[in-house]
Amino acid sequence: KAGVTQTPRYLIKTRGQQVTLSCSPISGHRSVSWYQQTPGQGLQFLFEYFSETQRNKGNFPGRFSGRQFSNSRSEMNVSTLELGDSALYLCASSLGTSSNTGELFFGEGSRLTVL
C-alpha cells in the first residue's frame, strides 16, 4: 500500500510569509506526527494529531500550527516565517496514538528554505 505522502517536496519562501505543508498518512493510520529536522537541532517533535485532535505538542512557538481532517490527512502551517525555520519537515503516521509501542512511518519530507 502507499506510504506517507508529503507535499510539496521542496519550497522556497521569504521572511514574513506563511507556508502550509500537507501530509497524507498510510491508509488506515489515524495518527499523524510532525517533526522538524535541522543540522543544528536534529529531529525535533512539533505535534501529534489523532482523530482530528491534537494529542501532543512540542516546544515550538505559536507560529507553528497544525490540523487533521476527518480522512486523517494533516496540514501544518508556519506563519511569519523566519530564516531559522529553514528545515526538512517530516510527517509520520502510525496506527494508534503515540501512547502505544508501534513504530512511526515517515514520509519523504518537505524541504523549506526561507530567504
Q: Is 25 in the site for other proteins (CB under 8 A)?
A: no
Calpha distance 44→72 (Å, rounded): 22
Of positions 25, 109, 112, 114, contacts other proteins by CB under 8 A:
109
Of positions 12, 100, 113, 115, contacts other proteins by CB under 8 A:
100
Q: Copy the grid coordinates of residue 105.
A: 512511518
Count of residues near other proteins by CB under 8 A: 26
Candidate segments 11-19, 65-73, 76-84, 100-108, binder of other proteins by CB under 8 A: 100-108
- State how far the alpha carbon of 19 is from the alpha carbons of 2, 34, 79, 83, 100, in Å: 25, 15, 7, 13, 31
Of positions 92, 93, 112, 114, contacts other proteins by CB under 8 A:
92
DSSP string, 26-62: PTT--EEEEEEEETTTEEEEEEEEETTEEEEE-S--T
Binding site for other proteins (CB under 8 A): 4, 6, 33, 35, 42-43, 45, 48, 55-56, 58, 90, 92, 97-101, 103-109, 111
